[in-house]
Amino acid sequence: MPTLLHIDASPLAGASISRRLSHEFEESWKKANPEGVVVRRDLTASALTAIDADWIGAAYTPPASRTDEQRGRLALSEALIAELRQADEIVVGVPMHNLTIAANLRLWIDLVVRAGETFSYGENGPVGLLTGKKATFVVAAGGSYGPGSGMESFNFVEPYLRTIFGLIGITDTRFHVADGVALLPSKNIDRDAFLHTHIELIHASLSRHTNGAAAG
């Protein structure tokens, strides 16, 4: 049965735009996949820590030679990679922080992008090992950084995520960007209307994607 891995990174809980929209993606996905399974990973509650010398040493020790301590150091990484391997599709709620991804999402990436596990080195460079998966990134950005904004070069979210997921073999990627979020607190834009517009776009996009896949 199909499996969706739902990842959220925003620290804002109920106030988060990216969490609300990734939730709507999940709801729409479940309607399209009534027999599907959803695995949720909240990065604010996952005790992620930066990799250090001991972690690196454990990761590059052959599995059969690892000590119990080394296996313990890699336990969270192994669990996160297992979630990725299990998933057919991934949705990530991504808050833009200082023009790039949130720190906890970067920590998650450091834990799952591992040579020999999610990619390998071939004669012509790295080869992704997690092929055949789809990823959707629901991005909430305070400003506008899309085409025609004049601020495109300030957006380090999409190019980085597209590249790093491509490294591990996930090249079927889509981005839904809810920009201008910084205007919401000033009430220049109605929050409910803002959310409704993006929720409709997410549902429509997933419907087209699902129908297109079925037609193909």
User: How does pLDDT run across 130-161, given as a tens digit for each residue?
Assistant: 999 999 999 999 888 878 788 888 899 999 99
* Percent of the chain predicted with pLDDT > 90: 71
- Gyration radius of the chain's alpha carbons: 18
Per-residue pLDDT tens digits for 63-74? 999 999 999 999
Is CATH 3.40.50.360 correct for 3-215? yes
DSSP state of 115: B
- Tell me the percentage of the chain whose pLDDT exceeds 70: 94
Distances in Å between the Cα of 33 and the Cα atoms of 59, 133, 199 are 36, 15, 18
Between the alpha carbon of residue 163 and those of residues 148, 173, 176, the distances in Å are: 22, 10, 17
Comparing 58 with 123, which gets the higher pLDDT? 58
pLDDT (0 to 100) of residue 216: 41
Instruction: Give per-residue pLDDT as tens, 157-187.
Output: 999 999 999 999 999 999 999 988 877 776 6
pLDDT at position 198: 85
Confidence class of residue 188 from pLDDT cuts 50, 70 and 90?
A: low
Counting Cα atoms < 13 Å in the Cβ hemisphere of 50 gives: 3
pLDDT at 214 over 60: no
Residue 209, pLDDT above cutoff 70: no
The domain ranges of the chain are: 3-215
pLDDT at 152 (0 to 100): 85
In this structure, what is the dihedral angle of CA atoms 132, 1, 90, 138, given to the nearest 10 degrees?
130
Q: What is the pLDDT of residue 215?
A: 38
143 touches 137 (CB < 8 A):
no
